[in-house]
C-alpha cells in the first residue's frame, strides 16, 4: 500500500467508526511509513474527516447564499430543535450537525447531506418528518431525495450537444476508427475549452501529454465542482455518466495513458456505487481493460478516488496533492501537470463536463461543434442557474447567448433581476446595465454557476456570505489570502453596520490588489473580485451605505474581538 491510498483508508475509518482515532492514525502511520504528525495534518485539512466521534447520523446543511435566501435559518433552527444538538458541535450519540459550503444542489435549496445521502427542498415540516423517521429506525438511504434535476436545453432543442440520446460505447467505437493523433487534431480543431472555469485548451493538454515520452501517464477526471451555485457535473453524473467515462478512454487512447482516475467530490459520494457499476459494465463490454476493442496494446483502467471536502482541491495542482495523500494545498512550485502530474508523471486533468464534450465531439464530428457558438468559443456550455428565478436548473446554451436571454421568459424566467453573479463567488457580478453582455470568450465567461438575485436582496448580505466562504476555504498557506480575506470580511461587516467610510472603500481596493497579486492559487487571486466589482457597478447602493470620510472617526471598532477571531483562524489553519 502506498501513500496514494491514504484518503481511501481514512474514509474507511471515518465511515466505520464515525471518526479517525489516534489508534487508526498510528496503524496507518506504520502501514504507510508516514509520521503520525503528517497524517494528523492531512486529517485536519479536510472538512469531512473528524478527530472526535460523530453521532450515528451526521448532518451537513448547506450554508451557501442560495440556501440562505430559500430558508436556511428556519431549517437550521428546526434541525437543532428536533435533534437537541447545536450546529458545529459534536452533538450526541445519535446526531452531529455541521454547516457546509455548496453541495451542488442550488436548484433545490435548502439542502443537506445526512450520512452523505441528499435531502433537498427542505422546510421545517420536512425536517421534522426526516428526524422522526430516523428516530423510528428508518435507514436514510431509503427515503433520501432522488436529486432529479431538471435539464433545460436552449430554446432550440436540436442544438444540444451534451444531452442527446446516449448509446454506451458509441463515442469510443467511433473514436477508435481514428489514430491517436487524429483524435487530438479533432479536439484541437473544435477549440474545446476546459469547462471547470480555467478555460484552458483541451486539445493542447492532450497533445502535450502525448508528446511526453514517459510510458507511465494518467488521465484524471476532476469531479470536484465546488464553486457555490454550480451543479452541472452532478446533472451529468445523474443522466450521462457514461459520456464522461468515454471521454477518459478517448483521452487515454490519444495520449498513451493506461490509467484513469475519477476524483469524486465527497459531497457526490452517493454516485460512487452507480459509477462503479457502470465502470464494470465497460469492462464487460471490452471498453475498458486489456486490448480494448481488440486493439493490440490499448489497455486502460479506471478507478474512483473520493475527495474529503475542500474547495481548493478543485484546482488541478491541489487535487493532485490530495490524490497523493497530502493536504490539498497548491504547491509552491507549479508544474504543468502534463509534465509533472500525478506521481510526477505526465497527467491530463480534465473536468467532468470537458470529458463529456470530448466524447460528443468525437461522436458528432468537430464541424458540428464548430457550427455553433462564437469564433473564439464554439459550441455550447452547461450553465447552472439558481436564485430568484422561476425555472432553476441546468441550461445548455450556445456560446454567445446573452445574460438577458438566460434570464428571460424562454429560459430561467428571473423575477426582477438586479444582481447576477456569473461564475460563482470567484467570478464577476453584473448589474442590469450589463444584461446584454454575452457568455463567451470575447465578453464574459461563465464556468457554470449563474446566481440571480432580485431587488429585495441586500448586496452586502450576499457578499458577506461569499467572504465567509473564502475565509473558511482558504487553505491558509499564504498570508495575503489568509489574512486578507479576513480583513475584507471585517470591512463588509463594518459596511453592514453602517460604520464604513470612503477610507474603508479605498482600503478594500488596496487589500484586494495585494491579495490578488500575491496569493498562490486561484482562490486568493479571485476572492476579492465580487466585492471590488460590486463597489464600481452598484454605486447608488454603496452611496447609501458609505458615510463621508471621518464621519465615524470617533466610533469604536471592536478591534479586540476581530483580533481574537483572527487568532483562532490562524490556530485552525496551522499544522
Kindly tell me which of 151 and 478 has the beta carbon lying closer to ligand SF4: 478
Considering the complex, what minimum distance in angstroms separates the CB of residue 573 from ligand SF4? 8
Kindly tell me which of 234 and 326 has the beta carbon lying closer to ligand SF4: 326
Considering the complex, what minimum distance in angstroms separates the CB of residue 44 from ligand SF4? 15
Cell 457580478 found at: 429
Question: What residue ranges bind ligand SF4 (CB under 6 A)?
Answer: 312, 329-330, 474-478, 481-482, 519-521, 523-524
Residue ranges of alpha helices (H) inside 97-179 are 124-135, 140-143, 170-175
What burial class does residue 405 get, using C-beta atoms within 10 Å of its C-beta: 0-12 exposed, 13-18 middle, 19+ buried? buried
Kindly tell me which of 392 and 478 has the beta carbon lying closer to ligand SF4: 478
Considering the complex, what minimum distance in angstroms separates the CB of residue 525 from ligand SF4? 7
Considering the complex, what minimum distance in angstroms separates the CB of residue 519 from ligand SF4? 4
Q: Give the pairing of strands 380-387 and 393-398.
A: antiparallel
Considering the complex, what minimum distance in angstroms separates the CB of residue 527 from ligand SF4? 8
Q: For 143-217, list the strands marked E by DSSP.
A: 151-153
Beta bridge partners of 199: none
The angle, 0 to 180 degrees and rounded to 10, between the axes of the packed helices 124-135 and 72-83 is 30
CA–CA dist 173, 171 (Å, integer) = 6
User: In this chain, which residue has its C-beta nearest to ligand SF4?
Assistant: 524
Considering the complex, what minimum distance in angstroms separates the CB of residue 222 from ligand SF4? 16
Kindly tell me which of 67 and 485 has the beta carbon lying closer to ligand SF4: 485
Kindly tell me which of 366 and 473 has the beta carbon lying closer to ligand SF4: 473
How many CB atoms lie under 10 A from the CB of residue 91? 22
Kindly tell me which of 317 and 347 has the beta carbon lying closer to ligand SF4: 317
Kindly tell me which of 279 and 521 has the beta carbon lying closer to ligand SF4: 521
Considering the complex, what minimum distance in angstroms separates the CB of residue 272 from ligand SF4? 27
What burial class does residue 173 get, using C-beta atoms within 10 Å of its C-beta: 0-12 exposed, 13-18 middle, 19+ buried? middle
Considering the complex, what minimum distance in angstroms separates the CB of residue 317 from ligand SF4? 9
CA–CA dist 439, 422 (Å, integer) = 9
Chain centre distance of CA 334: 21
Pair 293, 173: CB distance under 8 Å: yes
Considering the complex, what minimum distance in angstroms separates the CB of residue 116 from ligand SF4? 25
Kindly tell me which of 107 and 490 has the beta carbon lying closer to ligand SF4: 490
What burial class does residue 397 get, using C-beta atoms within 10 Å of its C-beta: 0-12 exposed, 13-18 middle, 19+ buried? buried
Kindly tell me which of 3 and 516 has the beta carbon lying closer to ligand SF4: 516
Residue in 47, 422, 487, 413 with CA at minimum distance from that of residue 229: 422
C-alpha cell recorded at residue 553? 472617526
Nearby residues of 397 by Cβ (< 8 Å), 6 or more positions away: 154, 380, 381, 383, 405, 406, 411, 439
> Residue 31 belongs to what H/E stretch?
helix 22-32
In Å, the largest CA–CA distance within the chain is: 80
Amino acid at each position: 500500500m502506498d501513500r496514494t491510498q491514504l484518503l481511501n483508508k481514512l474514509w474507511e475509518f471515518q465511515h466505520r467508526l464515525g471518526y479517525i482515532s489516534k489508534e487508526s492514525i498510528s496503524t496507518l502511520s506504520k502501514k504507510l511509513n508516514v509520521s503520525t504528525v503528517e497524517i494528523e495534518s492531512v486529517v485536519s485539512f479536510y472538512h469531512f474527516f473528524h478527530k472526535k466521534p460523530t453521532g450515528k447520523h451526521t448532518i451537513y446543511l448547506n450554508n451557501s447564499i442560495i440556501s440562505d435566501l430559500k430558508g436556511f435559518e428556519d431549517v437550521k433552527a428546526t434541525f437543532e430543535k428536533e435533534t437537541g444538538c447545536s450546529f458545529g458541535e459534536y452533538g450526541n450519540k445519535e446526531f452531529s450537525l455541521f454547516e457546509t459550503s455548496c453541495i451542488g444542489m442550488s436548484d433545490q435549496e435548502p439542502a443537506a447531506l445526512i450520512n452523505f445521502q441528499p435531502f433537498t427542498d427542505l422546510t421545517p415540516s420536512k425536517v421534522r418528518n426526516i428526524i422522526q423517521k430516523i428516530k423510528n429506525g428508518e435507514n436514510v438511504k431509503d427515503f433520501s431525495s432522488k436529486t432529479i434535476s431538471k435539464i433545460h436545453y436552449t430554446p432550440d432543442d436540436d442544438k444540444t450537444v451534451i444531452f442527446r440520446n446516449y448509446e454506451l460505447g458509441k463515442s469510443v467505437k467511433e473514436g477508435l476508427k481514428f489514430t491517436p493523433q487524429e483524435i487530438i487534431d479533432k479536439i484541437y480543431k473544435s477549440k474545446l475549452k476546459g469547462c471547470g472555469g480555467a478555460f484552458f485548451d483541451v486539445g493542447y493538454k492532450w497533445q502535450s501529454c502525448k508528446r511526453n515520452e514517459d510510458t507511465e501517464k494518467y488521465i484524471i477526471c476532476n469531479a470536484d465542482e465546488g464553486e457555490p451555485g454550480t451543479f452541472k457535473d452532478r446533472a451529468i453524473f445523474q443522466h450521462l455518466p457514461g459520456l464522461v467515462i468515454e471521454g477518459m478512454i478517448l483521452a487515454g487512447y490519444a495520449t498513451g495513458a493506461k490509467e484513469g482516475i475519477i476524483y469524486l467530490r465527497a459531497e457526490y459520494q452517493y454516485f460512487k456505487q452507480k459509477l462503479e457499476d457502470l465502470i464494470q459494465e465497460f469492462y464487460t463490454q471490452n471498453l475498458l481493460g486489456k486490448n480494448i476493442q481488440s486493439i493490440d496494446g490499448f489497455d486502460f483502467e479506471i478507478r474512483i478516488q473520493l475527495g474529503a471536502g475542500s474547495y481548493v482541491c478543485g484546482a488541478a495542482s491541489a487535487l493532485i496533492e490530495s490524490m497523493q495523500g497530502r493536504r490539498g494545498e497548491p504547491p509552491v512550485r507549479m508544474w504543468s501537470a502534463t509534465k509533472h502530474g500525478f506521481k510526477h508523471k505526465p497527467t491530463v486533468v480534465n473536468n467532468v463536463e470537458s470529458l463529456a464534450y470530448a466524447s460528443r465531439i468525437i461522436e458528432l464530428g468537430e464541424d458540428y461543434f464548430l457550427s455553433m457558438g462564437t469564433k473564439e468559443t464554439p459550441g455550447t456550455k452547461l450553465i447552472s442557474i439558481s436564485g430568484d428565478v422561476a425555472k432553476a436548473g441546468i441550461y445548455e446554451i450556445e456560446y454567445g447567448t446573452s445574460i438577458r436571454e438566460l434570464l428571460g421568459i424562454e429560459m430561467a424566467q428571473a423575477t426582477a433581476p438586479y444582481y447576477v453573479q456569473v461564475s460563482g463567488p470567484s467570478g464577476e457580478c453584473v448589474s442590469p446595465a450589463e444584461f446584454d453582455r454575452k457568455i463567451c470568450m470575447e465578453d464574459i465567461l461563465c464556468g457554470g454557476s449563474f446566481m440571480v438575485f432580485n431587488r429585495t436582496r441586500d448586496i452586502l448580505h450576499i457578499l458577506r456570505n461569499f467572504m465567509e466562504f473564502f475565509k473558511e476555504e482558504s487553505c491558509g498557506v499564504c498570508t495575503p489570502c489568509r489574512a486578507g480575506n479576513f480583513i475584507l470580511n471585517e470591512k463588509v461587516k463594518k459596511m453592514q453596520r453602517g460604520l464604513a467610510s470612503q477610507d474603508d472603500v479605498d482600503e478594500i481596493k488596496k487589500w484586494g490588489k495585494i491579495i490578488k497579486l500575491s496569493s498562490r492559487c486561484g482562490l486568493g487571486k479571485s476572492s476579492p473580485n465580487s466585492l471590488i466589482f460590486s463597489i464600481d457597478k452598484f454605486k447608488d447602493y454603496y452611496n447609501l451605505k458609505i458615510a463621508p470620510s471621518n464621519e465615524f472617526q470617533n466610533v469604536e471598532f471592536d478591534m479586540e474581538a476581530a483580533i481574537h477571531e483572527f487568532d483562532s483562524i490562524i490556530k485552525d489553519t496551522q499544522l
